[in-house]
């Protein structure tokens, strides 16, 4: 899209989230209202606004439900090219298209030899600690990261992640390498998070003792992370995740 370059990639995230809901509402108002009001993770995540020198602005929407992809694309067509973010006009120069996709069968295929995963957290990534004050936990841990992916897997399929997988993560999955830093991100007034950006490697200890089906399930959850994001505020650009190997 074209428009004024944001002061930071996160400057217009609340407006961009509202625009995405508006597009969905143009195609199906009831679905948009349900998604907005549901007190659970949403079946889509939004990246910050990308800008490279000499290029136009862009953002990425990752969707984990086929029916929502169709509604979104239809809503964009109905909405036309003009949008507003932070009371500033922007114009869509290209209609969005699906640039990458994977189905459930492909997600779950393979993985019989997987016991180590190297990930890159592209944007600040954090989790909420248990408790009334909702403290943020910025540093990577297997329980938090796999907990995100397994929870979102359970929302998206009729094959919920069982408790044995969570126990497996707690007992056997370790951080075997980590290189990065914490970064501060402002998502609005009084909404400041500190999250991890960088590379982290998770590894199963003694993988030969872990049933094939469990290794395969954890591998699928890790692969899902590229589409569902990691941690909190994934509708605001946080938790963008890339699988490196």
The model's pTM is: 0.91
DSSP code string of 36-102: HH-SS--SEEEPPPB--TTS--B--EEES-HHHHHHHHHHHHHH-SEEEETTEEEE-SS--------
CATH code that applies to domain 104-243: 3.30.70.1900
Handedness of CA 52, 71, 19, 224 (dihedral sign): negative
Give per-residue pLDDT as tens, 182-238.
Answer: 999 988 777 888 999 999 999 999 999 999 889 999 999 999 999 999 999 999 999
Q: Which two tokens stand for residue 31?
A: 């679905």
Domain ranges of the chain: 13-91, 104-243
pLDDT of 117-167, one tens digit each?
999 999 999 998 877 777 889 999 999 999 999 998 888 777 666 788 999
**Do 183 and 194 contact (CB within 8 A), yes or no?**
yes
């Amino acid at each position: 899209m074209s428009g004024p370059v944001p002061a930071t990639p996160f400057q217009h995230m609340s407006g961009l989230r509202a625009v995405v809901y508006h597009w969905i509402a143009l195609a199906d108002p009831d679905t948009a209202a349900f998604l907005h009001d549901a007190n659970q993770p949403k079946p889509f995540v939004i990246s910050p606004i990308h800008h490279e020198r000499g290029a136009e602005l862009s953002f990425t929407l990752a969707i984990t439900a086929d029916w929502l992809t169709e509604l979104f694309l239809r809503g964009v067509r109905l909405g036309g090219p003009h949008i507003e973010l932070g009371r500033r006009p922007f114009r869509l120069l290209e209609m969005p298209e699906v640039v990458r996709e994977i189905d459930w069968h492909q997600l779950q295929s393979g993985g019989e030899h997987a016991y180590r995963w190297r990930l890159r957290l592209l944007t600040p990534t954090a989790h909420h600690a248990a408790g009334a004050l909702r403290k943020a936990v910025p540093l990577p841990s297997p329980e938090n990261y796999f907990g995100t992916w397994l929870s979102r897997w359970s929302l998206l399929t009729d094959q919920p992640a069982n408790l044995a997988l969570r126990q497996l993560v707690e007992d056997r999955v370790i951080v075997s390498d980590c290189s990065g830093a914490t970064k501060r991100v402002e998502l609005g007034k009084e909404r400041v998070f500190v999250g991890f950006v960088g590379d982290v490697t998770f590894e199963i200890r003694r993988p030969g003792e872990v049933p094939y089906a469990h290794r395969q399930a954890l591998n699928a959850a890790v692969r899902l992370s590229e589409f569902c994001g990691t941690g909190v505020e994934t509708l605001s650009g946080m938790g963008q995740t890339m699988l490196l190997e």
